[in-house]
Amino acid sequence: MSNPFDLTGKVALVTGGNTGLGQGIALALAAAGADVASVARRASDDTVGKVLAKGRKGVSIQADLTSIEPVERILDEATAALGPVDILVNNAGIIRRADAVDFSEQDWDDVMNVNLKVLFFLSQATAKRMIADQRGGKIINTASMLSYQGGIRVPSYTASKSGVAGLTKLMANEWARHGINANAIAPGYFATDNTQALQDDPVRSKEILGRIPAGRWGDPTDLGGAAVFLASRASDYVQGITLPVDGGWLAR
């Protein structure tokens, strides 16, 4: 029996693939055999270099994901360099922190545009191509612990990540019949730029680590197995789930 986790011959497009969680996912997919297009505002030279070192093809696509303007160009460039996209990983995201009573409209719109609006329209554009080609494919969204919980001082982030979980279900409901699997990964507390303020706060960091049964912050490499599973044939009958990778945070 062939390896159901093998991604040889597949093309993956990962947004926010230049650093952190996105880079961890991109490298895991490459290790499983996929060629990878990394999309970010800045060049993904480090990620692409590591993808190439694994014997896979890689390409860096620079795009500002605060609006849907570059969506078609992103797909065109990925397809021209690597072939049609089989796996879309919507990982790019931003966060803004302030008390809810002081939260600005700008901070609301900026986060919702990147985390939810562009995620949807990039998924839509990718799904249209998959359906037209009758190829099917995999869409993997990055959700959050705040897809389950309210959090504090991050109203737009909480709203966007709750929306990601809901949109993932909707995508599965509508696109499963076309052979497209839509699922999400909900990372727990990972050591990335988005959580640097929490890591640097001794009180909050202690509170967070005290609740995580694994007793540590997550490392981007910890997402690799979940990403490969949801990108591969092993998950062909998995639809609309949000899979926590959280060191046990939600179990506490």
pLDDT digits (tens, 9 = 90+) for 163-201: 999 999 999 999 999 999 999 999 999 998 878 888 999
Q: How far apart (Å, rounded) are the C-alpha atoms in residues 124 and 83? A: 18
Residue 146's pLDDT band (cuts 50, 70, 90): very high
What pLDDT is recorded for position 128?
98
What pLDDT is recorded for position 225?
97
What is the mean predicted confidence (pLDDT) over 10-26?
Answer: 97
What pLDDT is recorded for position 194?
76
What backbone torsions phi and psi does residue 246 show, to the nearest 5 degrees?
Answer: -135, 10
What pLDDT is recorded for position 192?
86
* 116 in any annotated domain: yes
What pLDDT is recorded for position 252?
92
| 3-class SS letters over the chain | CCCCCCCCCCEEEEECCCCHHHHHHHHHHHHCCCEEEEEECCCCHHHHHHHHHCCCCEEEEECCCCCCCCHHHHHHHHHHHHCCCCEEEECCCCCCCCCHHHCCHHHHHHHHHHHHHHHHHHHHHHHHHHHHHCCCEEEEEECCHHHCCCCCCCHHHHHHHHHHHHHHHHHHHHHHHHCEEEEEEEECCECCHHHHHHHHCHHHHHHHHHHCCCCCCECHHHHHHHHHHHHCHHHCCCCCCEEEECCCHHHC
| In the predicted structure, residue 117 carries a pLDDT above the cut 70 | yes
| In the predicted structure, residue 11 carries a pLDDT above the cut 70 | yes
The share of the chain scoring above pLDDT 90, in percent, equals 96
Total count of domains within the chain: 1
* 240 in any annotated domain: yes
| In the predicted structure, residue 125 carries a pLDDT above the cut 70 | yes
What pLDDT is recorded for position 81?
98
CATH of the domain at 40: 3.40.50.720
Mean pLDDT score of the chain, rounded to an integer? 97
What is the mean predicted confidence (pLDDT) over 215-243?
Answer: 97
| In the predicted structure, residue 55 carries a pLDDT above the cut 70 | yes
* 2 in any annotated domain: no
Q: How far apart (Å, rounded) are the C-alpha atoms in residues 82 and 159? A: 34
* 251 in any annotated domain: no
What is the mean predicted confidence (pLDDT) over 61-87?
Answer: 98
The residue among 241, 82, 121 whose CA lies nearest residue 176 is 241
* 16 in any annotated domain: yes
Distances (CA, A) of 105 to 69, 111, 125, 228: 21, 10, 28, 37
Work out whether strand 11-15 and strand 87-90 pair parallel, antiparallel, or are unpaired: parallel
What pLDDT is recorded for position 197?
85
* 79 in any annotated domain: yes
- Residues with a catalytic annotation lie at 157
* 101 in any annotated domain: yes
Domain that holds residue 80: 11-244
What is the mean predicted confidence (pLDDT) over 10-27?
Answer: 97
Residue 150's pLDDT band (cuts 50, 70, 90): very high
* 27 in any annotated domain: yes
What pLDDT is recorded for position 1?
54
